[in-house]
Structures are given as structure tokens and as C-alpha cells.
């Protein structure tokens, strides 16, 4: 689906949401359209399904509560990603405090959680990639995840993370190198 | 501008990164039907409406329950018929016992009354008999022997023993008056 059609559909959904008699059906349509993308974006960051589920629900509940005031200056897609990213980073901060993790060793905080996942196999490439991602700093982890897995353009990423495109591109390239090194040294 | 998969691959190739060849699949497991349930759950949550329960029952049922049920009901019905006769007999016997108990109480009551009430004395019995009847009886039944005894008392010089000194004068006069009539 082209970006134009996608944006048109999102504008239609927003218009339907603003009307009382079509609000619920519009909400359901939005959830159906974006739940999988948002879920995996969250899970790549927090690893555990239950935590991902909690955060995802929180994202859509926030959307429900504030969608009526959404001005439409950003498209629905980037707006939802921004909510999901902020909720995820907030959750990670709380988790760090709960685990009493030192500020200079936040990377790898979820290594144990990752190793406990069903079907985990450190010898398989897809699991190694997840371990490599967990070794990245949080913000860099987000950039890598949005670009490598969600194929998000830097222009939209800039709206999600409120960072310049150049900074994001540099961050992504550094992240790629770190992941390569991690897998190579495996 | 939408990024295509090729754009991502090309970018990685420009970085001379082996990641360009890696599969970008997610290895994490997911509960079955997770995303399908999510829509309904979220809609219920934000609209404060309960999720539809559906019409299927979540309860477990013993195997062959409905097949065995008619036979079990029939057997139970047969078992409940027998106690009907026993119940009737029990009812009659219960009435008999109540009647016997009532009779016993009455008998005890009567017996207690008789014990507590003393029989009448001879004087009380005599008072109930008319005087004329007593006099007639004495005249009809006094024996000659007894007459002779009375006469012998009169003829002898022996002092006629008087009754006790406390004979009432009025009683003597009454006796004498009765003789004149």
C-alpha cells in the first residue's frame, strides 16, 4: 500500500473516530491495522511477552483518550509509534530502578530474560541478533529496531523520536557496526 | 517517502554489512490468537463494556453424561417408589402408639385420682342411707339370741354397764321420744 493511500485511510479513520456513532468501529480498525507492528516494536525492546502486552494495551488506551484532540499535524502512524516508544522507554526506566541497575551498565539488562524465552538458541542467528540488540544503548536500540525491522524512513523516525535525520542516520550506522561485532565475536 | 525492503538492504550493502543477508524474522513465541483477542479486549476496555461471553459453556462435563442420564434417572425413580408403602405403615403404627400413650395417661390419671381420694367411712356410708331403712333392717334382722342378751342384762343384778359418761342427755331424751312414737 502506498504512503498516500495509507495516509488517506488513516485520515478517514480519524474522521470516523471523531463521530460518536462510528468511534468504536474506527478504534477497532486502527487497532487491527497497527497492533502487530507496534507489538513487535515494543517486544524487541522489552523481550517478555506479558510486559509487551501490558505496554501495547497502555498505548491504545492512551490513543483512545487523546485521539479526539489529535490535531493531525503528524500522521497517525508516527503518532502511534511515538506513544509506543515513549511508553516502552518509561517502562525500561522503571525496570532499571526496580532491578537497581547501575546507569553505566544498562545494556544487557534483559539478557537473562532473553535467554529464558521459549525456543531460545544462542547458536541461531535470529537469537544472536536479539542478543546483539540488547547490547545496544536504549535510544540506539530504538533507532536500529525502527530502521532494520520496521523499515521506517528517517524523516518519519525524526518525528517519532524528535531527533534530526542526520543524527538518526549516524546512530543507525553505529548500531549496525556494533551488532556485526557482537555476532562476529559471538 | 516510504522505505522499501530494497532500500534497507541497499543501505546495509553500502555499509558493507553482513546484516544485509541476515533473515529479519522475529524468533519470539506468541500466544495463539493473541492479536485476534486483542481487538475485542481493547474495545471492551476503552468503552467499559464487558467482553461478550459467547454462548459456549466453559464447564467440563463427564464423558457420556447425556447417554447415561436417562438410565440413572429411571433407577433413581424406582428407588423412590419403595419407601411409599413403608411410609404408610409407619403412619398407622405412629397413630396406634399415640392412642396407647393417651390411654396410659388417662389410666394413670384415674388411678392417681382414686389413690388421692380416700374411700368413704362407715359413718359417711350410713349417712347416705335413709333412717327408715336402717330401722326396718334392725327390726327384720335382730336375732332372738340378741333379744335374750338384752333381757338377761335387764334381769341380772349386775350393774348394767353404762356407756361412757359422756352420754349426751339430749340423746337419751331423743331415744325415749322415739320409743313413745
Q: Do B29 and A2 touch (CB under 8 A)?
A: no
Summarised one tens digit per residue, pLDDT across range B156-173 is 555 555 555 556 677 777
Same-domain check for residues B126 and B152: yes
- Measured between CA atoms, the residue of chain B closest to residue A177 is B17
Query: Has residue B61 got a pLDDT over 70?
Result: no
Residues of chain A neighbouring B39 (CB-CB closer than 8 A): 28, 31-32, 35
List, as ranges, residues 36-95 from B with C-beta within 8 Å of A.
38-39, 41-43, 45-47
Domain count within chain B: 2
Same domain? For B135 and B147 the reply is yes
- Nearest CA to A76 out of A121, A110, A31 is that of A31
Other Cβ atoms within 10 Å of B35 Cβ, number: 14
Any domain includes B141: yes
In this prediction, residue B144 carries a pLDDT of 55
- Shared-domain flag, residues B112 and B129: no
Domains, chain A, in order of start with CATH, read 3-185 (1.10.1740.10)
All 3 cell numbers of residue A97? Answer: 530502578
The tens digit of pLDDT for each residue in A28-55 reads: 899 999 999 999 999 999 999 999 999 9
ipTM: 0.86
Domain span including residue B112: 90-119
Which of A40, A124, A152 lies nearest to residue B26, judging by beta carbons? Answer: A40
pLDDT tens by residue, A96-135: 888 887 766 667 788 889 999 999 999 999 999 999 999 9
Interface test with B, best of A6, A7, A60 (most B CBs within 10 A): A60
Question: Has residue B179 got a pLDDT over 60?
Answer: no
Any domain includes B102: yes
Q: What is the pLDDT of residues B77-119, one digit of tens each?
A: 777 655 555 566 667 788 888 888 899 989 888 888 887 777 7
Amino acid at each position: 500500500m502506498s504512503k498516500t493511500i495509507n495516509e488517506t485511510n488513516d485520515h478517514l479513520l480519524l474522521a470516523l473516530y471523531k463521530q460518536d456513532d462510528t468511534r468504536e468501529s474506527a478504534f477497532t480498525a486502527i487497532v487491527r491495522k497497527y497492533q502487530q507492528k507496534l507489538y513487535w516494536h515494543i517486544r524487541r525492546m522489552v523481550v517478555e511477552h506479558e510486559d509487551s502486552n501490558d505496554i501495547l494495551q497502555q498505548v491504545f488506551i492512551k490513543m483512545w483518550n487523546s485521539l479526539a484532540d489529535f490535531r493531525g499535524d503528524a500522521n497517525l502512524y508516527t503518532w502511534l509509534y511515538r506513544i509506543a516508544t515513549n511508553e516502552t522507554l518509561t517502562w525500561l526506566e522503571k525496570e532499571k530502578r526496580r532491578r537497581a541497575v547501575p546507569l553505566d551498565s544498562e545494556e544487557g539488562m534483559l539478557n537473562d530474560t532473553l535467554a529464558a524465552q521459549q525456543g531460545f538458541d544462542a547458536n541461531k542467528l535470529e537469537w544472536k541478533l536479539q542478543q546483539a540488540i540488547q547490547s545496544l544503548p536504549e535510544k540506539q536500540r530504538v533507532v536500529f529496531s525502527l530502521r532494520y525491522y520496521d523499515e521506517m524512513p528517517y524523516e518519519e523516525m525524526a518525528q517519532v523520536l524528535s531527533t534530526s535525520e542526520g543524527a538518526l542516520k549516524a546512530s543507525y550506522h553505529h548500531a549496525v557496526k556494533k551488532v556485526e561485532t557482537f555476532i562476529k565475536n559471538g | 517517502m516510504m522505505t522499501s525492503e530494497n532500500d534497507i538492504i541497499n543501505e546495509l550493502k553500502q555499509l558493507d554489512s553482513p546484516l544485509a543477508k541476515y533473515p529479519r524474522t522475529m524468533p519470539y513465541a506468541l500466544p495463539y490468537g493473541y492479536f485476534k483477542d486483542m481487538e475485542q479486549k481493547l474495545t471492551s476496555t476503552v468503552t467499559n463494556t464487558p467482553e461478550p461471553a459467547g454462548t459456549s459453556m466453559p464447564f467440563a462435563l463427564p464423558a457420556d453424561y447425556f447417554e447415561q442420564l436417562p438410565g440413572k434417572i429411571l433407577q433413581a425413580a424406582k428407588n423412590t417408589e419403595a419407601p411409599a408403602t413403608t411410609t404408610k405403615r409407619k403412619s398407622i403404627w405412629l397413630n396406634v402408639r399415640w392412642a396407647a400413650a393417651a390411654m396410659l395417661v388417662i389410666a394413670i390419671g384415674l388411678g392417681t385420682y382414686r389413690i388421692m381420694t380416700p374411700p368413704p367411712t362407715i359413718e359417711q356410708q350410713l349417712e347416705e342411707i335413709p333412717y327408715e331403712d336402717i330401722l326396718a333392717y334392725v327390726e327384720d334382722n335382730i336375732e332372738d339370741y340378741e333379744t335374750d342378751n338384752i333381757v338377761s342384762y335387764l334381769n341380772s343384778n349386775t350393774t348394767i354397764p353404762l356407756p361412757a359418761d359422756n352420754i349426751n342427755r339430749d340423746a337419751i331424751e331423743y331415744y325415749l321420744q322415739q320409743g313413745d312414737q
